[in-house]
Amino acid sequence: METVVGASASPYWEAAQRRRRAVATAFDQHAGQRTTWKRRATHYHTTLSKICRRYVLPQGRVLELGCNTGDLLASLKPTLGVGMDISRHSLAVARSRYPQLHFVEGDAQAIPLDAPWDAIILADTLGYVDDVWQTLRSAHAAATPDTRVIIISHNFVWRPALAFAENVGLKMPVGLENWLGTPDIENLLRLTHFDVVERGQAMLSPVQLPLVQAWLDQAADRSWLRHLALVLYWVLQPRPRPQPKPLSCSVIVPCRNEAGNIEACVERVPAMGTHTELIFVDGASTDGTPELIREQMARHRGRKDIALIDQVPRNDTVPLDDTPGLPPSASEQTSPDLMLALGKGDAVRKGFAAAQGDVLMILDADLTVSPEELPKFYLAVAEGIAEFVNGSRLLYPLEDEAMRFANLVGNKAFSLIFTWLLGQRIKDTLCGAKVLPKEAYDRLAAGRAYFGDFDPFGDFDLLFGAARLGLSLIEVPIRYRRRSYGASKVRVLSHGLLLARMSLIGFRRLKLAQWTERLREVR
C-alpha cells in the first residue's frame, strides 16, 4: 500500500493529525445516536444504497472507506466486506450490528489492506478526510484494473441548506469540512489517475414525496434540474499509474523581511526527484533575512543545495516600506517600471534564470503554503499529468486570519475572469505555488514580449504565457495557513486595480486576438 507522501514530524503533519483527531472525536460523540439520525434521513441513505447496488454485485469483495456504523456496507451483502473508519466508537457499533463483516480502525489516506477488491466505496467520505489527494492516491493503490471505485458526494449548492438543517437539529451536527464542487472532484480524479466510467446525480428532495417522487427521480437524472440534485456520484476505473520521470527540482523562494521563516523553510522543503536545490531571492531585506540564509547555507553545506541571490543592490542604511520588493529610494518614485523591476515577479524570473533543475517551483517565504505540499506538484509533472501546476487554496477550510474576506472575494472574482480568459479552469489565480518544467518555462520566457513585462507579481506572466503555449494545466489543492511571522505584502485596493489592468491585457492579447483571427478567417 502507498504511504503518505512526505509524512514526517513537522508543524504541517502535527496540524494534520489534530484535524484527523477532531473529526474522529466528532463522529465518536454521535456514534450512539447514528441510528436515530439515519431514521430521520431514510430517503437519503436508501438512495446511497441504491446507487451502490447498481454497480456492486452481491457476494462481491467490497472495501468501504469511511464506513461509520457499517449500514451501507451491510446493505451490499458482500462475501468479503471490510469497513474502515477513524471513529473508534462508530466501529464498535458496526461490529456489534454486523459480526459477519470486518471493521478496521484506520485512515483512508494510508490503506493497510491488500486484496483484489471488486469495489471500493467512498460515500460521504471526501468531505471529511484531511487530504483528498492522498486519499484518492491511496484508493488507487488499493485497486486493481478491474476494481470499480465509487465516490458519492454532496452537491455544493446544498451547502447553505445543510448548514441550516444542522443548526436547527434536523441533521446530525457533524458538518462537512471540505465542500468539493464537481470540477474540484474531476480535477482530483485526473491528478490521481482515475477514468470516469459513469457519473450521475440523484435526489432533488432530501425527504421522500410519494405523489411526485417518480417525477423527481426522473428529473434529477435527465432535466436541467439535475444541477440542483443533492447527491453526486462517480463510478471510476483506475488507469495504470506511470513511473515518475527522474527529474531534478529547483525551488525558488522570493523573500523580503522573512527572517522568522528561513530556518523552517530550509528544514521543511523535502528532497524531490533526483536532486533538489533551494534558491532564495532576497528583495533588499533589513531584518537579517540574507544573513540567516547564509547561516543556513553554511550549516547545511554538503547536505542541502542552497543558494542566495540579491534581487537588487543592497542598501542596509535605510528601512523598507510595505511595497513588495521596493527599497525606500525606489518606493518614493513608485513608477510602474520600477515596481516591475523590483516586485516578486522579477524575483521569480531571476531565480528561474539561475535554476539548474528540470522542474521549477515557486514557494512563498511566508510558508502560508506548506513546503510539505511540494511533492504533489512534482508528481503532477513527473507522472506526465500536466505541464503547468497551479496551487489552489480554496478547497479546504482556511485557517483563521489566513486570508482576509476582501482578498477571498477578489480571488474568486479573478478566478472566474481568468478561467474565461485562459479557456482552462483556474480556481485560485493568486496562489503563490506554481510549478512547471524548465523546458516549458524557457519557451514561455522566449515569448514574453507578446504580453510585455507588465506583471510585478509573476503569477499572470506565467498563466498567460502557459495559455498562449497551450500548456496543459492542473490545480493541486493545498491547505493555506496563516502567517506566523511578518506581515502580508498584499494591498487590497492598489493591487486589485493592478490585477484588473492585467485582466484587460489578457483580454486584448488572448480573447480579442482570437476573435480577430477568426473574423479574418471568415472573411
Residues contacting residue 143 through CB under 8 Å, at least 6 positions apart: 117, 120, 149, 238
Q: Same CATH fold, 249-513 and 11-238?
A: no
**Mean pLDDT for the chain?**
85
Q: Does residue 6 surpass a pLDDT of 60?
A: no
Question: Could you tell me which CATH number the domain at 11-238 has?
Answer: 3.40.50.150
Mean per-residue pLDDT, 126-146 = 95
- Looking at 326-330, 385-389, 434-438, which range is the least confident one? 326-330
Mean per-residue pLDDT, 320-333 = 40
Measured distance CA(327)–CA(286) in Å, rounded: 10
Q: Does residue 481 surpass a pLDDT of 90?
A: no
Q: Is residue 282 within 8 Å of residue 289, measured between CB atoms?
A: yes
Percent of the chain with pLDDT over 90: 54
Pull the grid cell for residue 132: 483528498
Order of strands, sheet of 434-437, starting from the edge strand that comes earlier in the sequence: 305-310, 276-282, 249-255, 359-362, 434-437, 388-392, 473-477
Mean per-residue pLDDT, 72-91 = 96
Of residues 499 and 268, which shows the higher confidence score?
268
Q: Is 444 exposed, middle or buried (CB count within 10 Å of its CB: 0-12, 13-18, 19+)?
A: buried
Mean per-residue pLDDT, 315-325 = 41
Predicted confidence band of residue 333 (pLDDT cuts 50, 70, 90): very low
What is the pLDDT, as a whole number, of residue 281? 96
Predicted confidence band of residue 400 (pLDDT cuts 50, 70, 90): low
**Which residues pair with residue 63 across a beta bridge?**
82, 120
Span 158-201, pLDDT tens digits: 888 888 888 888 888 877 778 888 999 999 999 999 999 999 99
Q: Is residue 414 within 8 Å of residue 503, measured between CB atoms?
A: yes
Q: Is residue 475 within 8 Å of residue 392, measured between CB atoms?
A: yes
Q: Does residue 503 surpass a pLDDT of 50?
A: yes
What is the pLDDT, as a whole number, of residue 309? 96
Measured from the Cβ of residue 413, the count of other Cβ atoms closer than 10 Å reads 15
Q: Are strands 194-202 and 119-123 parallel, antiparallel or unpaired?
A: unpaired
Placement of cell 481568468 in the chain: 418
What is the pLDDT, as a whole number, of residue 47? 93
Q: Does residue 304 surpass a pLDDT of 50?
A: yes
Pull the grid cell for residue 97: 450490528
Q: Which fold has domain 249-513?
A: Spore Coat Polysaccharide Biosynthesis Protein SpsA; Chain A (3.90.550)
What is the pLDDT, as a whole number, of residue 488? 52
What is the pLDDT, as a whole number, of residue 120? 98
Measured distance CA(431)–CA(427) in Å, rounded: 9
Q: Does residue 319 surpass a pLDDT of 80?
A: no
Of residues 240 and 213, which shows the higher confidence score?
240
Predicted confidence band of residue 88 (pLDDT cuts 50, 70, 90): very high
What is the pLDDT, as a whole number, of residue 349? 94
Predicted confidence band of residue 495 (pLDDT cuts 50, 70, 90): low
φ, ψ dihedrals at 74, nearest 5°: -65, -35
What is the pLDDT, as a whole number, of residue 74? 97
Long-range contacts of 505-511 (CB under 8 A, 24+ apart): 505/451, 505/452, 505/454, 505/464, 506/418, 506/421, 506/422, 506/451, 506/460, 506/464, 507/421, 509/450, 509/451, 509/464, 509/468, 510/421, 510/422, 510/464, 510/467, 510/468, 511/420, 511/421
Predicted confidence band of residue 332 (pLDDT cuts 50, 70, 90): very low
Angle at the Cα of 183 (from 177 to 188), degrees rounded to 5? 70
φ, ψ dihedrals at 78, nearest 5°: -80, 155
What type of residue sits at position 511? K
Mean per-residue pLDDT, 443-457 = 79
Q: Does residue 238 surpass a pLDDT of 50?
A: yes
What is the pLDDT, as a whole number, of residue 200? 93
Mean per-residue pLDDT, 289-318 = 86
* Residue 361: closest CA among 263, 431, 267, 289: 431
Q: Where are the domains of the chain?
A: 11-238, 249-513
Of residues 457 and 396, which shows the higher confidence score?
396
Q: Does residue 109 surpass a pLDDT of 80?
A: yes
Predicted confidence band of residue 322 (pLDDT cuts 50, 70, 90): very low
Predicted confidence band of residue 206 (pLDDT cuts 50, 70, 90): confident
What type of residue sits at position 473? L
Predicted confidence band of residue 330 (pLDDT cuts 50, 70, 90): very low
What is the pLDDT, as a whole number, of residue 2? 53
What is the pLDDT, as a whole number, of residue 432? 85
